[in-house]
Amino acid sequence: MNVPEIYADMVFNDKVMRERLPKDIYKAVRKTSKNGTHLELDVANTVAAVMKEWAIERGATHFTHWFQPMTGLTAEKHDSFISPTEDGSVIMEFSGKELVKGEPDASSFPSGGLRATFEARGYTAWDPSSPAFVKDGTLYIPTAFCSYGGEALDKKTPLLRSMEALSDSAVKVLHLLGDEEVTHVDTTVGSEQEYFLIDKDLYMKRKDLVLTGRTLLGAPAPKGQEMEDHYFGVLKPQVSEYMHELDKELWELGVPAKTKHNEVAPAQHELAPVFETANVAVDHNQLTMEVMKKVANKFGYACLLHEKPFEGINGSGKHNNWSIVTNTGVNLLDPGKNPAENTRFLVFLMAVIAAVDEAQELLRISVASAGNDHRLGGNEAPPAIISIFVGDELEKVLISVEKGTSLEDSAKTKMNIGAHVLPHITKDKTDRNRTSPFAFTGNKFEFRMPGSSLSVANPNIVLNTAVAEQLDLIFAKIKDVPADKLDEELHKVLRDTLVAHKRILFNGNGYTDEWVEEAERRGLANLASLPDAVPYFIDPKSIELFTKHGIFTEDELYSRYEILLENYAKTIHIEALTLMEMVRKDFTTGLVRYMKDITTEALKKRDLLPYSKCSYEAQILQTLDETSEEIVRAMDQLAEDTAKAEEIEDVLEQAKYYHETILAEMDELRGWTDRAEAIIPDEYLPYPTYEAMLFSLR
Ligand code: ADP
Ligand code: MG
């Protein structure tokens, strides 16, 4: 495979535009994608014509406006290029209007009450900052999705707004610090994607996996991940072929897939891309998830992206690596090599520290989902408490900033920590704290709470906005300070910020009970579930933050609040129904058949050996009989309460009921069926066991 040749072959990127578009048109498009302005119709017409020709060469017959509604998935509706002519044949057409704007019937997408049904139409608008591409015979045009009133109905619009907000705030601060050349900053994101592969035939036999993405019952296999023999293990031959094909298809789509390896749990893997601008990285992560599933099918696998497909086995996350880069190419979270660079670094570092402290609830909400809640606080994922890990070296620097004391650098020279005389801070990649939800890793922050199936738009919207806010606060404090006092004043601002927010810093083990207690003493939020967290989304502080920076209007916030809660309730509702159906139809059938067979065998044995007590058979029968009584009881309870849940009108109350009552009852029911499953032979169950699913990859 000639990688440079196939790389981005299916992408209408800058290179293609430069080659194919007339010069003035190319310049106009560049300007649009940089400034977010509108494209003139004649320019759009030319771009559309060129794009169509290019796409047809790559086998495209259709185009689609590709968008990210608030389902968290992507949406697409395909239109062909054909236009019938009078002589009964067709020509292929694609106009500028079709490129820049679409009008999908949007009434079936969640809007949280934003879009009254009488004006069900929404519109999609081309986002030229994320390149169009051809996939499976269709030209995909990345778009933003809004209501006719202009409210955002998607994840891209607020993400783009938040990137702009951060850029504006960062540029102001940089100019004050003397970086006059910078006119724009971008947020960069690299999202590491974890996933499971299991045999597709086995997958199809499990209603829970097919309908809900996770196993709702199933006794643990005798072996789990305790041997730690899977992490970075040798790739199984067919898995390796799968990853190879996955890389190839992603590369063709211009997704910079870089690293692949086995993860901690059996049958679990990871793919990490090279980082890109946040907006493109989010689109590419959505594409990655899609292509992962598609390629899995080719190889007879099912790709599981749920956060917790298997009880007792590590779930899957998606680490969001995040930094800020200037249009002059400087990574603002890189400690730098000289004192001035160090100062700039410290300003941005402190803004992030303060932002994460101030927005801890919002960050928690940004990764909340029914699936991810199973993972956060489990033993494999960071706890639901947000804290920042900075590492030993940086901690020493921060202590010096706070105390105003001197610090020895690696060359043992003493330095005063004035803003302009900071020690050279080296990148430290070795000292990693895997238990921290938000870790500084040398020149970026790694947010480890996002779940594997979530769009990374949300965490980045919150991060960008919260950091913009803190940069504004710093700017306000130093903007009128005379140049000769700037260093001194800056140092004071940094120290004050640190003192106010240092409770968020924690270098220790985040998985311990001591940390939970300590975090409570520090006043940090510990929001275990989505219904616990989501009310913070619409509290006055959050409304103030998001509206001030133009990220969400108050209406948009309320709509998202409702959608989050509704989605949560619906997910658990479907899970409860699926669990009951599986127990009733699949599990109980197996159970009854096994009990009948044992009884028949025992009676036969009695005929032959009248003196036998049939102790073994009797014991199994008794256990299963007792368990089945409990199963019936637990099922009745769950059925009754699931019906009750549906009647609750208030969305928050309903979500809480699902969390506190329904999930707990599902767990109880599962406890009983799992206990029985452990003694029923596999062949009696119509669905595969944990052992079969987790240890059968070739
Ligand atoms: P790991 O966390 O698995 O040890 P790395 O830290 O090497 O792996 O990188 C993880 C991810 O961080 C990669 O996707 C990489 O592209 C991304 N990354 C590296 N630098 C940046 C940056 N400046 N901004 C955003 N993401 C980055
Ligand atoms: Mg990582």
Any atom of ligand 1 within 6 Å of the Cβ of 197: no
The residues near 173 (Cβ < 8 Å, ≥ 6 apart) are 347, 471, 474, 475
φ/ψ of 154, rounded to 5, equals -140, -170
> What local confidence, expressed as pLDDT, does residue 356 receive?
98
Beta carbons within 10 angstroms of residue 287's beta carbon: 21
Beta bridge partners of 126: 143
> What local confidence, expressed as pLDDT, does residue 116 receive?
56
As given in the structure block, the two tokens for residue 445 are 């922050």
User: Are the C-beta atoms of 397 and 342 separated by less than 8 Å?
Assistant: no
> What local confidence, expressed as pLDDT, does residue 81 receive?
96
Closest CA to 446 of 455, 457, 433: 433
Report CA-CA distances (Å) from 325 to 132, 221, 350, 419, 427: 24, 47, 16, 22, 17
Distance from residue 192's CA to the centre of ligand 2 (Å): 7
Report the distance separating Cα 5 and Cα 58, nearest Å.
14
Alpha helical stretches, state H, 513-587: 513-522, 530-533, 540-548, 554-581
As given in the structure block, the two tokens for residue 151 are 């409210």
**Quick check: helix, strand or coil at residue 11?**
strand
Distance from residue 57's CA to the centre of ligand 2 (Å): 39
Report the distance separating Cα 235 and Cα 238, nearest Å.
8
Per residue in 323-381, pLDDT (tens digit) is: 999 999 999 999 877 777 788 999 999 999 999 999 999 999 999 999 999 998 666 67
As given in the structure block, the two tokens for residue 339 are 């004192």
Any atom of ligand 1 within 6 Å of the Cβ of 273: yes
Report the distance separating Cα 498 and Cα 487, nearest Å.
16
Residue carrying the six token digits 């030209």: 139
> Nearest residue CA, atom 11 of ligand 1?
190
User: Are the C-beta atoms of 493 and 474 separated by less than 8 Å?
Assistant: yes
> What local confidence, expressed as pLDDT, does residue 309 receive?
97
Question: Closest ligand to 275 CA?
Answer: 1
Any atom of ligand 1 within 6 Å of the Cβ of 586: no
pTM exceeds 0.85 for this model = yes
Region at 267 (left for phi over 0; alpha for psi -120 to 50; beta for the rest): left
> Nearest residue CA, atom 14 of ligand 1?
190
Report the distance separating Cα 491 and Cα 109, nearest Å.
50
The residues near 575 (Cβ < 8 Å, ≥ 6 apart) are 208, 212, 214, 216, 370, 666
Q: β-strand 62-66 against 138-147: which pairing, if any?
A: parallel
User: Are the C-beta atoms of 305 and 157 separated by less than 8 Å?
Assistant: no
Distance from residue 278's CA to the centre of ligand 1 (Å): 13
Distance from residue 271's CA to the centre of ligand 2 (Å): 10
User: Are the C-beta atoms of 659 and 529 separated by less than 8 Å?
Assistant: yes
Distance from residue 585's CA to the centre of ligand 2 (Å): 42
> What local confidence, expressed as pLDDT, does residue 426 receive?
57
Report the distance separating Cα 40 and Cα 32, nearest Å.
10
> What local confidence, expressed as pLDDT, does residue 415 receive?
42
Distance from residue 441's CA to the centre of ligand 2 (Å): 9
> What local confidence, expressed as pLDDT, does residue 419 receive?
43
Report the distance separating Cα 81 and Cα 91, nearest Å.
8
Low-confidence spans in the chain with pLDDT less than 50: 117-118, 410-421, 430
DSSP state of 72: S
Any atom of ligand 1 within 6 Å of the Cβ of 195: no
Q: At what angle do helices 339-358 and 392-403 cross, to 10 degrees?
A: 90
Q: Round the CA-based radius of gyration of the chain to a whole number and report it.
A: 28
Q: Which residue type does 155 have?
A: K
Report the distance separating Cα 164 and Cα 185, nearest Å.
8
Any atom of ligand 1 within 6 Å of the Cβ of 450: no
From the DSSP assignment, how many helices (H) and strands (E) are in the chain? Answer: 25, 20
As given in the structure block, the two tokens for residue 303 are 């790709």
Report the distance separating Cα 589 and Cα 687, nearest Å.
11
Question: Closest ligand to 263 CA?
Answer: 1
Distance from residue 319's CA to the centre of ligand 2 (Å): 6
As given in the structure block, the two tokens for residue 273 are 């891309």
> What local confidence, expressed as pLDDT, does residue 407 receive?
59
> Nearest residue CA, atom 19 of ligand 1?
275
Any atom of ligand 1 within 6 Å of the Cβ of 441: yes
Q: β-strand 388-389 against 438-440: which pairing, if any?
A: parallel
- The DSSP-derived string for 145-208 is EEETTS-B-BSHHHHHHHHHHHHHHHHHHHHHTT-TT---EEEEEEEEEEEEEEEHHHHHT-HH
Any atom of ligand 1 within 6 Å of the Cβ of 272: yes
> What local confidence, expressed as pLDDT, does residue 379 receive?
65
Distance from residue 455's CA to the centre of ligand 2 (Å): 17
Any atom of ligand 1 within 6 Å of the Cβ of 187: no
Report CA-CA distances (Å) from 127 to 124, 131, 132, 145, 223: 9, 8, 9, 10, 48
Any atom of ligand 1 within 6 Å of the Cβ of 443: yes
Report the distance separating Cα 257 and Cα 276, nearest Å.
11
Q: Nearest 5°: CA angle at 171, between 170 and 176?
A: 100
By CB atoms closer than 10 A (0-12, 13-18, 19+), residue 269 is buried
φ/ψ of 565, rounded to 5, equals -70, -45
Q: Hey, which of 285, 321, 438 would you mutate to test ligand 1's pocket, going by the most ligand atoms within 8 Å of its Cβ?
A: 321
Any atom of ligand 1 within 6 Å of the Cβ of 433: no
Cα end-to-end distance, the chain, whole Å: 24
Distance from residue 191's CA to the centre of ligand 1 (Å): 8
Closest CA to 265 of 296, 304, 301, 212: 304
